[in-house]
Amino acid sequence: MVGAFACLLLVSLVPLPFIVALLAVMVITAVLGALIERVAYRPLRQAPRVSAIITALGCGLVIQNTTLSLSPYARPMPRLFESRTFEFAGVTLNSLQLFIIGVSGVLMLGLDFVIRKTDWGIALRATASDRATVPLMGVPVNRVISLTFAVGGALAGAAGVLYSQAYPVVGAAMGALIGWKAFVAAVIGGIGSIRGAVLGGYILGVVEVTTVVVLPSTWRDLIAYSLLLVILIFKPNGLLGSAAQQKV
């Protein structure tokens, strides 16, 4: 939601090309993500895990209601990408859809590469695995966690821009449902697995579209969340997740 509104504000002030607007928004939301970590999460790092969950909900409500007070009505988003329609084997696609898929794929592959192959990615995985020990290895935990929130914020900002081009109306509540579905996709794929989250997102998307084709659209969320419950019953750690091994 912040990414969509930041994009709307930027293109209203300056006529920017789409890629420039996308990169600018990613910088803005990355700074916001790092700021939220510093102000809201870092003081609670030693608190019980439920405190972080409550903080996350609180931050979301603060951002949403701040935006709502500034812009109480949904606003149209101008098209930043000229779209052409293609038809192939009875399937109709447009260039905007293909562009969104392409940009999303590049971002996901880039994130996967960074997490698996770079020093920061190794430090991030080590911090997630054993936060108490990694400072002894010289890993700057605060910097690693802040950068993690910044990267997450940048990706969320990119998602907001792409979503606002596919559905060109932005509102203060637009991020809530998308956020819940992102969480569902991550749980289906396995918390902690980037590839699992991608797989979970595709599964959720296919289930929602298939449901709308076969059943009334009001069944869409019911079927999607029922799928989550079924997967958690048989695979509590998600499709690609693994149970954490702890030495006793």
Domains held by the chain: number: 2
- CA distance linking residue 33 with residue 38, whole number of Å: 9
Say yes or no: 81 and 200 in one domain. no
Say yes or no: 92 and 118 in one domain. yes
Say yes or no: 32 and 118 in one domain. yes
Question: Do strands 85-88 and 91-94 pair parallel, antiparallel, or not at all (unpaired)?
Answer: antiparallel
Domain termination site, one of 153, 172, 191:
172
Give the per-residue pLDDT at 37. 93
pTM to 2 decimals? 0.86
45, part of any domain:
yes
Domain termination site, one of 172, 200, 222:
172
Say yes or no: 18 and 99 in one domain. yes
Paired strand residues for 86? 93
Q: Residue 90's domain spans which residues?
A: 2-172
Domain termination site, one of 150, 172, 194:
172
247, part of any domain:
no
- Strands of the chain (E only): list them: 75-76, 85-88, 91-94, 169-170
Supply 36's token pair.
């939220």
Say yes or no: 167 and 63 in one domain. yes
- CA distance linking residue 221 with residue 180, whole number of Å: 11
Q: What is the mean pLDDT of each run of 10 residues along the chain (248 residues)?
A: 94 89 95 94 85 89 91 88 79 85 92 90 87 85 92 94 91 87 86 85 88 85 83 82 61
26, part of any domain:
yes
Question: Do strands 169-170 and 91-94 pair parallel, antiparallel, or not at all (unpaired)?
Answer: unpaired
What kind and span of H or E run contains 20?
Answer: helix 18-36
Say yes or no: 67 and 166 in one domain. yes
108 class by beta-carbon count within 10 Å (0-12 exposed, 13-18 middle, 19+ buried): middle
